[in-house]
Amino acid sequence: MKIAIIGAGIAGLAASVRLASRGHDVTVFEANSYPGGKLSEFSLPSLKNKNQFYRFDAGPSLFTMPQYVEELFDIAEIPPGDYFSYRKQEIVCQYFWEDGTALTAFSDPEKLEKEVQQKLGVNGHLIIDALQKARRKYDIAGKLFLENSLHKTKTWLSWRVLQAFIRVLTLDIFKTMNQTHERAFNKNPKLVQFFNRFATYNGSDPYKASGMLSVIPHFEHGIGTFYPEGGMSRITKAIFHLAEKKGVKFRFNTPIDAISYSLPNTETKTTVNGVTTASGEKFSCDVVVSNMDVYFTYKKLLPQLPFPEKTLNQERSTSALIFYWGIRKTFKALDLHNIFFSDNYQKEFEHLAQGTLYRDPTVYINITSGLTPTDAPENCENWFVMVNAPHNTHQNWEDLIQTTRKNIISKLSRLLKTDISVLIDAEEILSPVGIEAKTQSFTGSLYGTSSNSMMSAFLRHANFSSEIKNLYFCGGSVHPGGGIPLCLLSAKITSEIINDKL
Ligand code: FAD
């Protein structure tokens, strides 16, 4: 079968490996000059010395569920060898609060229990119980709904679905994440905030999202967090390498403008038959997989088709404001992942819901130069500084960026007891507008639609079109959602449906 994939995001790349490994003739069309979409990298020169550079991963910084990358090597029957290796992190994250409390979130449950007891003055066993409950949720329902299409009858007819329904009350579906965590942690504000933060892993609001999402800590603390040797972009490089080895053809700098299809007749349904590039070249094929945001796939590539309002007009996930800073100092207190919590988490989310940023946002800093020293000059660090931001509804971003930059510098300077402003030796800023422009993600949302409603998982777009035969979708804007592991799963689900059908 001749297959065209639109977009070389992580899901498009993974789908290309899976489909080419089954012997299909696969061509990937990518608008940018590089693969990876949000999962790419760049470097900035030092302002002090133009010959020195800071390397940054542009988007994702947290790597969980590495088995889905390994699975691609298995399918392609190519050993990861020199192309991909990773290590488990002993410290998952360093947390800091305004009152000076600092907590090290160890991967080891016993160490974590002790740390929570010592630093937060609560019974550490609460956190162990909460993590066990997260694991149970994952075993009962998480795995089932993430690894299968929710739009295929065979998923619903399985014995495991019946078991999930029987235990539905244990999943906290009808409570919010915040209510779930307040109960689990006897309202200890710091522990609740620590666990509520996991809502942001798919761009949601813990005060609205279902308690089912408290399964997410299991990915981080139950299974673990990992660091790909050389940085996150090594994931893209590894999958791109696999795709090339399996004979996938790549057409970079080639945006697709239209998906074409034959009209139905008495014998056949409307069936996809090709794509057209922005320069007008027509490419015929039997199957099209769109890794482009599904909203724009309909709006731009399929304007004649009825727009699925109910699915695609759902609330978007949050976006992010990122400051990539080269810093002329090293900080012993900081690790790979660091969080500086807001003084009022609920207020922060209220501001996001109103389309703006709180004066004291939660600040995330990712630093890879501690693990990959070539990522920054000697005695310097590469800081990826990110705050949650509302998706783009044409706010005055210039103002929001300047105010937030000032607020972040003042917060970090206060908590790290060092004037950060004088240490910034390189800078690049990425806003929701930039995210939308770079990867064609509608409104610059990081994870497609949000999971703020109980029904979100079921309303997310399917991995196939019910209007056009042989048209499929993968990536963060369709089932099962955004984030690297879920995007890799969407590629898996889509490829399996294609392989089952052909
Ligand atoms: P995308 O990365 O969205 O790529 C889509 C590709 O399609 C792009 O390359 C685009 O150029 C191309 N394209 C679009 N339209 C066309 C067209 N018409 N023709 C040709 N090509 C086209 N996830 C995590 O797991 N951990 C994290 O820590 C994390 N942090 C994040 C931080 C940031 C700042 C961002 C932006 C995202 C983060 N994510 C994280 C989310 C994760 O990056 C995404 O869910 C995932 O990378 C999306 O992959 P995708 O396959 O959907 O495609």
pLDDT tens readout for residues 289-327:
999 999 999 999 999 998 888 888 889 999 999 999 999
Provide the whole-model pTM.
0.95
- pLDDT above 80 for 155: no
Cα 438 to averaged position of ligand 1 atoms, centre (Å)? 9
pLDDT of residue 279: 98
Cβ atoms of residues 16 and 5 within 8 Å: yes
- How many Å from the N-terminal Cα to the C-terminal Cα in the chain? 8
- Name the region of 475 (left: φ>0; alpha: ψ -120 to 50; beta: rest): left
Strand partners, 4: 27, 288
SS3 state of residue 422: helix
The C-alpha angle with vertex 218 and arms to 14 and 238, in degrees rounded to 5, equals 25
Give tens-digit pLDDT for 23-46: 999 999 999 999 999 999 999 999
Nearest alpha carbon, ligand 1 atom 18: 256
pLDDT of residue 502: 66
Helix ranges restricted to H, 324-450? 345-353, 397-416, 432-439
Ligand 1 pocket at CB < 6 A: 6-12, 29-32, 37-39, 59-62, 255-256, 291-292, 320, 322, 435, 439-441, 446-447, 475-476, 482-484, 487
- Contact partners, residue 303, CB within 8 Å, separation at least 6: none
Cβ atoms of residues 446 and 317 within 8 Å: yes
| Pocket-testing residue among 38, 57, 288, 474, ligand 1, by greatest number of atoms within 8 A of Cβ | 38
Atom from ligand 1 closest to the CA of residue 430: 34
Nearest alpha carbon, ligand 1 atom 14: 292
- pLDDT above 90 for 100: yes
Residue with the two structure tokens 């800093």: 365
Cα 422 to averaged position of ligand 1 atoms, centre (Å)? 33
pLDDT of residue 225: 97
Cα 37 to averaged position of ligand 1 atoms, centre (Å)? 5
